[in-house]
């Protein structure tokens, strides 16, 4: 039978270094005999404290006190002198906290799953009630989402190398032994699997193990560094609805815990445009709230144009925070979402922990020049004039939603020359049946299609129909500077929101930090998700944690 399931151990395979490897290093640091820490932990029969721990019969804290006795007794019996500061609790907590995800191995697991293999983690794990238990929680939370099954010894009452746990594994996978390959870094844990007929791989180093895994699966696994981050699926997330006022609600998806980060999309998009960022930001320790902006998806779409003025939209976001009990959030926006987050920073800085925009620069209102004059002077913005008459662009864009979104969502090297919306419509010059962009899947397109079947285009287009209102409101803040933590991310090949448009931002945001995405067009989050994630997470780590409430002067 062909292989169809791949099983990964945790310690020494998916996470490095293994606790046992760290214990060996600790022995050297404490001048203890080689193997002392590992030998005592592993020895003993079914009633030993370590086996009871792995079976879930006792917790980590209970086991530590028992191990403390075991180590001291073994040292005394062996004539070994333990250091005065010897602490089993500290040694094991340090070893557990030192573990990090083995990214090449995880990427291989993701690749195999995407290619149709069933994937599973089989691990001797424990119930962690220590003061450092958050470390294990974060680790398992990050890994779990990428696998079909997770079997932890402490949950099932069986531990490797007990033959029963391998039978349980096969039952869970609904697979015969010959259909399964199993990777572990301990030979004794592989033997029962091999005896049952599974293909086994002893992991001594990652690259060697992946080469062997490539051979048995027929999949390329070592050259996967450039693969896209794993996007979240709508069904994997919590969905919420916040009533803003009678007849108006905002829909959002949520993932993670920690300081809140509010993601605001642009036109014509959805919370789903942040699908590559949501899991990563959550894994970095943030509570991610990706909003369907007013007029989109499952949020309300009132028909009145004035409902989409920037003043009203910002008030809506303040109410959104209030109803969720959030005093302050990081705001990250793209396209029109970028306009909104800069406006939040300008008019409601006390509610903004930090602000970041992708592609959209901060441009203060000019009292001497109206926005219509600016647009008329820049042909690249001519589509915005086409959007002004209610009903016209709606009819064109809603006629064939498949065509609309396949025409709009194009990577920077797939976009034809010329500006859209100049003569005869926004989609003029695009084929009736456009090809699918390399940066989206058919499933992605259908998600947008279904969302816009619900909302239509009137609400989204109304964001463009408040130029005069937005200008007049913006003039009220014309003399202000933005002094809270701020990030501007430009995209090299965005032909509308070009990097050059941001060149004077430091005049108004003196502490501005910058990021730049090369070879990227307008749809930054989905064209270059790995690069965007790297810029955002680096900035969030330094500027969005424990930010003082006072401005930086």
What's the pLDDT at 45? 54
Catalytic: 464? Answer: yes
Question: What are the tens digits of pLDDT across the range 460-491?
Answer: 999 999 999 999 999 999 889 999 999 999 99
Catalytic: 335? Answer: yes
What's the pLDDT at 416? 64
Selected catalytic residue, list 251, 265, 334, 522: 522
What's the pLDDT at 130? 87
The three-class DSSP label of residue 512 is coil
pTM over 0.85: no
User: Which strands, in side-by-side order, build the sheet including 513-517?
Assistant: 238-245, 248-255, 287-292, 260-264, 329-334, 352-358, 486-491, 513-517
Selected catalytic residue, list 185, 292, 316, 335: 335
What's the pLDDT at 525? 97
| Geometric angle at alpha carbon 266, from 263 and 268, rounded to 5° | 135
Q: Nearest to residue 10, comparing CAs of 115, 118, 132, 140?
A: 140
Cα torsion angle, 158, 160, 162, 163, sign: positive
What's the pLDDT at 551? 43
Residue 514 host element (H or E): strand 513-517
Partners of 242 in the β-ladder: 250
Residues 6 or more apart in contact with residue 358 via CB below 8 angstroms: 332, 333, 334, 335, 338, 489, 491, 524, 525, 532
- Cα–Cα dist 182/76, whole Å: 40
Which residue stretches of the chain have pLDDT < 50? 225, 418-421, 547-553
- Cα–Cα dist 470/372, whole Å: 11
Catalytic: 334? Answer: no
What's the pLDDT at 521? 96
Selected catalytic residue, list 308, 464, 494, 543: 464
């Amino acid at each position: 039978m062909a292989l169809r399931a791949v099983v990964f151990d945790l310690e020494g395979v998916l996470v490095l270094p293994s606790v046992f490897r760290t214990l060996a290093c600790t022995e050297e640091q404490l001048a203890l005999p080689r193997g002392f820490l590992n030998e005592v932990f592993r020895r003993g029969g079914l009633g030993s404290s370590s086996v009871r721990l792995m079976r879930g019969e006792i917790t980590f804290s209970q086991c530590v006190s028992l191990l403390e006795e075991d180590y001291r007794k073994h040292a005394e019996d062996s004539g070994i002198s333990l250091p005065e500061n010897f602490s089993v609790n500290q040694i094991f907590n340090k070893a557990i906290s030192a573990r990090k995800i083995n990214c090449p191995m995880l990427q291989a697991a993701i690749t195999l799953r995407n290619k149709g293999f069933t994937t599973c983690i089989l691990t001797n794990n424990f119930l962690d009630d220590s003061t450092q238990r958050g470390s294990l929680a974060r680790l398992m939370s990050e890994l779990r989402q990428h696998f079909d099954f997770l079997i932890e010894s402490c949950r099932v009452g069986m531990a490797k190398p007990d033959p029963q746990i391998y039978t349980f594994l096969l039952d869970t996978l609904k697979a015969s032994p010959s259909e399964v390959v199993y990777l572990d870094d301990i030979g004794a844990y592989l033997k029962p699997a091999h005896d049952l007929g599974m293909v086994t791989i002893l992991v001594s180093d990652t690259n060697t193990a992946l080469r062997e895994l490539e051979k048995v699966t027929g999949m390329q696994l070592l050259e996967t560094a450039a693969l896209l981050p794993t996007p979240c699926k709508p069904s994997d997330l919590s969905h919420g609805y916040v009533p803003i006022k009678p007849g108006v609600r905002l829909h959002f998806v949520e993932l993670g815990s920690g300081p809140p980060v509010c993601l605001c999309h642009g036109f014509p998009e959805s919370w789903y445009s942040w699908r590559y960022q949501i899991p990563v930001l959550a894994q970095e320790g943030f509570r991610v709230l990706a909003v369907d902006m007013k007029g989109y998806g499952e949020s309300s779409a009132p028909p009145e144009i004035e409902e989409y003025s920037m003043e009203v939209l910002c008030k809506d976001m303040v109410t959104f925070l209030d109803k969720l009990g959030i005093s302050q959030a990081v705001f990250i926006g793209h396209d029109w979402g970028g306009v909104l987050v800069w406006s939040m920073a300008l008019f409601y800085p006390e509610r903004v922990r930090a602000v970041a925009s992708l592609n959209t620069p901060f441009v203060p209102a000019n009292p001497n020049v109206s926005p219509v004059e600016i647009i008329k002077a820049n042909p690249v913005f001519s589509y915005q004039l086409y959007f002004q008459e209610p009903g016209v662009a709606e009819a064109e864009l809603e006629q064939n939603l498949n065509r609309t979104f396949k025409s709009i969502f194009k990577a920077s090297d797939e976009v034809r020359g010329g500006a859209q919306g100049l003569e005869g419509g926004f989609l003029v010059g695009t084929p009736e049946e456009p090809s699918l962009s390399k940066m989206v899947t058919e499933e992605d397109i259908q998600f947008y299609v279904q969302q816009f079947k619900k909302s239509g285009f009137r609400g989204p287009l109304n964001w463009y129909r408040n130029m005069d209102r937005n200008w007049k409101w913006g003039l009220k803040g014309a003399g202000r500077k933005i002094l809270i933590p701020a990030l501007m991310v430009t995209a090299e090949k965005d032909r509308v929101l070009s990097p050059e448009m941001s060149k004077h931002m430091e005049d108004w945001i003196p502490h501005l930090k910058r990021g730049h995405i090369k070879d990227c067009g307008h749809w930054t989050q989905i064209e270059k998700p790995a690069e965007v994630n790297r810029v955002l997470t680096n900035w969030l780590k330094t500027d969005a944690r424990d930010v003082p409430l006072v401005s930086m002067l």
